[in-house]
Amino acid sequence: MRQHKILVVDDEHLIRWSLEQNLKKQGYEVLTAGSGEEALKSLREDPPELVLLDIQLPGINGLDVLEKIKEMEDEVIVIMITALGVLETAVKAMRMGAFDYINKPFNLDELAIVIKKALETSELRREVAHLRSEQSSKYGISNIIGSSRHMTNVLTMVKKVAHSDAGTIMIQGESGTGKELIAKAVHYESARADKPFMAINCAAVPSTLLESELMGHEKGAFTDAKAQKKGLFELSDGGTLFLDEIGDMELGMQAKLLRVLEERSFRRVGGTKDVKVDVRIISATNKDLLKAIEDGTFRADLYYRIQVIPIYLPPLRERRDDIITLVEHFIAHFNREFGKNVKTISKMAEKFLTEYNWPGNIRELKNVIERAIILENEETLLLEHLPQEIVAKSGGGGGSPMSFNLPAEGLDIEDVERELIRQALEVTEGNQSKAAKKLNLGIDAFRYRMKKFGFL
């Protein structure tokens, strides 16, 4: 267990000695200083995690020392030691950044509790800061894969929007194109990055529960409301709320959402007070909302309110230049996850991957690579490692590999056989054993045909 370091600053020797002995017994490393100047020298040479600082010191007083500590090491926790009757000074110290204060004469057990609470709070803050730093690194624009013209335009737009004060943003794109990833990039590239990013799939939550999830509820608002609950609008205050699949939200909830967007306030279910929030709303949908307006399933006024800044995310078939880059990224990712060592992709596999239309977009591509990495142990990703539907449908064929029309003038069956041998060797990249299996032939029969048609 890590030993915490505490600096005790007091001009009374007996108090310093008493605190030092007591804190050492509790397992802390303790430094002492009898003046403000000595404390600042100690802080520069060997910074502690926590300072017990007397307000009334000779020379530099405690408040001036506190100010200099916060300038030098803002993360150091400071607990002020005050005499009775100087409450106003203690309150001023809190405003200047002190964590807490205790009055002389103090109870050592009470002080131990205050120190423990301060160190736990500091540890929690460090963990939160570290987590947010990791999230920013993981979801920033630099980690979005894509250098095609379409994606370059998207990322330029994301950066502009993230650095703006835009309160409502709409991301449109087919399922699997990475709408939530773009929403997170907007959040983590913005000044709101150190505040919460909350997300909800409007299609996954029953309409009867969606209002409570978004706006929260008061105790007793309905049968199971045994306590007050804050909704996602409150929980994401200062940050970003991502409303995925907003096109599936029912009309009544759409009206309530519109009010929140217009007034930036709402009432919890069963509540009577308006709760004000500062939240950036990012919506996303794979639906044609203009058609939904015509069909009467989406409100026109809400559409124009959320469509202030639209970001269109192109499907993977419109950014084929990015496919192999994404494949290489997923191979590296799943190599780490599954302890595999796939190093390259064969040219034939590349050809079929880039020609396939990817109806499931990036999500489908990720799943295909994950499956290949799990099931295969070779260092090269080959065409035969890909699902049959990709091989069958690449290049726009769209049908079964066996579907063809007999020409009116007829054909030579041996030409068909020769072509099948050629294709089998092509898709297996010359591996005769695997090519034979593709045609359900024994290896000897397959080699006989190879010689017959001049492939050997």
In a domain, 442, yes or no: yes
Q: What is the CATH number of the domain that holds 105?
A: 3.40.50.2300
In this structure, the answer to whether residues 334 and 448 fall within a common structural domain is: no
Residue 346, sorted as left (phi over 0), alpha (psi -120 to 50) or beta, turns out to be beta
What's the whole-number mean pLDDT along residues 157-165?
95
In this structure, the answer to whether residues 309 and 349 fall within a common structural domain is: no
Q: What is the CATH number of the domain that holds 378?
A: 1.10.8.60
Where does a domain end: 257, 290, 314? 314
Where does a domain end: 299, 314, 329? 314
In this structure, the answer to whether residues 300 and 174 fall within a common structural domain is: yes
Contacts of residue 58, Cβ cutoff 8 Å, sequence gap at least 6: 11, 35
Q: Please check whether residue 242 is in contact with residue 230, taking contact to mean a CB–CB distance below 8 angstroms.
A: no
Where does 202-346 have alpha helices with state H?
A: 207-215, 232-235, 251-263, 289-295, 300-306, 323-338
Contacts of residue 358, Cβ cutoff 8 Å, sequence gap at least 6: 315, 316, 317, 323, 364, 365
In a domain, 138, yes or no: no
In a domain, 140, yes or no: no
What's the whole-number mean pLDDT along residues 26-47?
93
Q: Across 120-124, 304-308, 382-386, 401-405, which has the greatest mean pLDDT?
A: 304-308
Rounded Cα gap, residues 8 and 23, in angstroms = 10
Q: What is the CATH number of the domain that holds 185?
A: 3.40.50.300
In this structure, the answer to whether residues 159 and 86 fall within a common structural domain is: no
Residue 108: in which H helix or E strand, if any? helix 108-139
In this structure, the answer to whether residues 109 and 159 fall within a common structural domain is: no
In this structure, the answer to whether residues 176 and 201 fall within a common structural domain is: yes
In this structure, the answer to whether residues 266 and 197 fall within a common structural domain is: yes
pLDDT value for 390? 86
In a domain, 117, yes or no: yes
pLDDT of residue 159 exceeding 90, the answer is yes
pLDDT value for 404? 59
pLDDT value for 405? 63
pLDDT value for 397? 42
- The token pair at 216 is 């929260």
In a domain, 143, yes or no: no
Domains: count for the chain: 4
In this structure, the answer to whether residues 431 and 287 fall within a common structural domain is: no
Residue 98, domain extent? 5-130
Rounded Cα gap, residues 250 and 31, in angstroms = 63
pLDDT tens for each residue of 282-317:
999 999 999 999 999 999 999 999 999 999 999 999
In this structure, the answer to whether residues 430 and 287 fall within a common structural domain is: no
In a domain, 136, yes or no: no
Where does a domain end: 314, 338, 356? 314
Least confident of 192-206, 367-381, 435-449: 435-449
pLDDT band, very low/low/confident/very high, at 453 (cuts 50, 70, 90): confident
In a domain, 435, yes or no: yes
pLDDT band, very low/low/confident/very high, at 254 (cuts 50, 70, 90): very high
Give residue 135's Cα distance to chain centre: 6
Rounded Cα gap, residues 449 and 456, in angstroms = 9
In this structure, the answer to whether residues 291 and 384 fall within a common structural domain is: no
In a domain, 104, yes or no: yes
Mean pLDDT value across the chain? 89
In this structure, the answer to whether residues 296 and 336 fall within a common structural domain is: no
Q: What is the CATH number of the domain that holds 439?
A: 1.10.10
Rounded Cα gap, residues 160 and 39, in angstroms = 47
pLDDT band, very low/low/confident/very high, at 84 (cuts 50, 70, 90): low
In this structure, the answer to whether residues 382 and 442 fall within a common structural domain is: no
